[in-house]
Amino acid sequence: MLLGLLLLTSLLLSVVPVSLAYANDNPSKTLNVEITPKITVKGSKGKGKPAVQAATGVLGTPPPDPGHKWAVIIGISDYDGTENDIQYADDDALDMLEALIEVYGYERDHILLLISDYKVNNATRKDILNAIDWLKVNEVAGDEVVFFYSGHGARGIKADSDKEVIDEGIVPWESTTESVIWDGDLASMFGDFDTTRIIFIFDSCYAGGMTDLKASGRVIVMASTESGVSYESSTLQHGIFTYYFVNEGMLQGKADVYDHDKDGTLGEPFDVVVEEAFDYAKANVPNVASQTPTISDSFENDLLL
């Protein structure tokens, strides 16, 4: 079953206003831009068995205390107008929010939640750029940073200053050529962060192209390949990848393969490292229309959030 992004309407929480920084909003010039929405489908559930690939079973540097953890979580279902709308990206974002707070001990005021869900919209291009600036203002060396995005993906020719001919990007609420935030733009924005412990998660079409963000200590989790598409499921009411990566893998603890806390018990949510959650998702995402999750892992051993 192709998974949609699970909206926990019972969960939460107010949206934090993003007005803390002053991002340089200078859209890149592009040619032949293609904005590709997620496709909503029905399907069968996955196998439920993780295939160990990315996880090593050895914990890397332990996470910092909650006061040194920061996150920006973006989920866009309601785009400008009606023709680009999808169903479950905002639900994906709420699941990620719940996992960071309830499983990994993040403080709510250290997380900016940018969603567009037909009632609230704070996920414009300016909002996203300001949120990245907010991260930059707050993080210091040794901190942990999470950047999560669920929504449409885009690709275009020479969208930024990197050497790639084809670039990939994320699509803010405006859903226009000018609003796309390209992989090279993101790499530049995160290029002068003090911390090296950064986890990027992209559930969007063409997500596999986000390896421009690769650097020492970083993990980039991508729901699809550089040329692949991502799906959401009306049956599961989630994006397929996020459902297995976050909902089942982290919140339900199903990705727990190694007994990291050595208490003799598997299947505990707080034991799940990023690599285990990825392995679980990759094993369970149905092989439909070339959705193949990918990972770029430059963190030594396994990363526990």
Residue 21 reports pLDDT greater than 50 = no
pTM of the predicted structure, to 2 decimals: 0.85
- pLDDT per position as a tens digit, 35-67: 655 555 555 455 555 555 889 989 999 999 999
| pLDDT for residue 1 | 28
Provide, rounded to the nearest whole percent, the portion of the chain with pLDDT above 70: 76
Residue 143 reports pLDDT greater than 90 = yes
CATH architecture, domain defined by 31-297: 3-Layer(aba) Sandwich (3.40)
| pLDDT for residue 303 | 96
Cα first-last separation, the chain = 28
HEC secondary structure over the chain: CCCECCCCCCCCCCCCCCCCCCCCCCCCCCEEEEEECCEEECCCCCCCCCCCCCCCCCECCCCCCHHHEEEEEEEECCCCCCCCCCCCHHHHHHHHHHHHHHHCCCCHHHEEEEEECCCCECCCHHHHHHHHHHHHHHCCCCCEEEEEEECCEEEEECCCCCCCCEEEEECCCCCCCCCCEEHHHHHHHHCCCCCCEEEEEEECCCHHHHHHHCCCCCEEEECCCCCCCCEEECCCCEEHHHHHHHHHHHHCCCCCCCCCCCCCCCCCHHHCCHHHHHHHHHHHCCCCCCCCCEEEECCCCECCC
| pLDDT for residue 217 | 98
| pLDDT for residue 10 | 23
Cβ neighbours for 133, distance < 8 A, ≥ 6 positions apart: 20, 21, 22, 23
Specify the higher pLDDT residue, 96 or 30.
96
* pLDDT, mean over the chain: 83
Q: Which of 246, 201, 243, 247 is nearest to 224 (CA)?
A: 201
Structure tokens that stand for 305 in this block: 């959030």
| pLDDT for residue 3 | 30
| pLDDT for residue 166 | 83
- pLDDT per position as a tens digit, 218-272: 999 999 999 888 999 888 889 999 999 999 999 999 999 887 766 666 666 778 9
